[in-house]
Structure 1
Amino acid sequence: MHKRHIVEQIVSIVEKELKAAKQAALESAEEATDEESRAENKYDTHALETSYVASAQAHYAKDLTQALQAYRNLSLADGASGPVAIGSLVTTLGPNGREQFFMGPARGGLELDTEQGPVTVLTPKSPLGSQLVGKTLGMNAGPRKILRIE
């Protein structure tokens, strides 16, 4: 399996998410500052609520921008590269059978469909990701045994 193809899939997904997040943030900001959002009385919090939503969506868009940049700057080693690190494609055998994980710098939890089966993106901050980082072929990471590192 080509790690570059996995990274390209992730970049494509994050680009789509970023486009949607920017649009949502823009729409929320426009609603928060719209004349019709002015408070009608001291108990009317609609404008305040929409400003919180706009702020959260802008923060989410910023996080996606950083994730996109991290994947675009990611250098990938070809073949087996020693211990598990960011950029590693890891095959494990565990309670759920064989599973494949891509250790990424961001966007953990993404599930990708590849020609060789599903791949889940992990980050070193996740519980499983932190168990895998630094491990080598044949070692155990919790209940999983590492079968392959690319």
Structure 2
Amino acid sequence: MNKTHVIEHLRFALEAQLQNAKAAAKAAHDAATHEESVAETQYDTLGLEAAYLAQGQAERVNECYRDIQSFNTVFKESEFNKVREGALVCLIDEQDNAKWFFMGPSAGGLVVTVKEQPIYVVTREAPLGKQLIGKSLDDEVELSIAGNKQLYSIDQLI
């Protein structure tokens, strides 16, 4: 796996999230300030609801900017002998199935695909992230998924 390609895919995905958030914020702002959003009675809350939505979307845009900033910091890290933010980790399960994870500072759940291989962003707050932080090559992690315990081994650490 080429980490440079993974980083580029993550940059594009984070930028796409930002653009989507900006579009949603603009649409919510336009709805909140549209003449049809003006209350006609004291019980008409359409304008108020639209304003709350616009505020939430604006906060989402700010979060996207923070995500990009925090990822730019970890993208500069290069040498890893233990799992930490910025590490690209390949886990192998007991059936020799490989799964790739990028330890990100935020944006947990983001998935990018590089050469038909999904790479999942995991944060240190996630159950898997808590298990991985500080581990080295060939260390094992155990996860319970829907009551089933899965054992994984760290096969690659980039």
Shared fold per TM-score greater than 0.5: yes
**Residue identity matched to 1:28:** A
- Could you tell me how far 1:73 is from its partner in structure 2? 2.6
Determine the C-alpha separation between the residues in 2 that align with 1:11 and 1:148.
Answer: 22
Structure 2 residue 126 is the aligned partner of structure 1 residue 126: yes
Gaps of at least 5 residues in structure 1 are: none
Determine the C-alpha separation between the residues in 1 that align with 2:17 and 2:70.
Answer: 15
TM-score by length of 1: 0.89
Determine the C-alpha separation between the residues in 1 that align with 2:82 and 2:32.
Answer: 49
Determine the C-alpha separation between the residues in 2 that align with 1:87 and 1:128.
Answer: 15
Match of 1:146 in 2: 154
- Could you tell me how far 1:107 is from its partner in structure 2? 1.4
Tell me how large the CA RMSD over aligned residues is. Answer: 1.7
Which deviates more, 9-18 or 114-123? 114-123
Match of 1:62 in 2: 62
Q: Per-residue CA shift, 1:36-73, capped at 9, x if unaligned?
A: 21111121110111111111111111111111112223
- Could you tell me how far 1:77 is from its partner in structure 2? 0.9
Determine the C-alpha separation between the residues in 2 that align with 1:112 and 1:19.
Answer: 17
- Could you tell me how far 1:95 is from its partner in structure 2? 5.8
Which residues in structure 2 correspond to 1:9-20 (within 5 Å)?
A: 9-20=9-20
Match of 2:77 in 1: 76
Match of 1:110 in 2: 110
Determine the C-alpha separation between the residues in 2 that align with 1:116 and 1:57.
Answer: 32
Gaps of at least 5 residues in structure 2 are: 143-150
- Could you tell me how far 1:148 is from its partner in structure 2? 1.6
Asked whether the equivalents of residues 90 and 98 of structure 2 are also in contact (C-alpha less than 8 Å), the reply is yes
SS in 2 for 1:130: helix
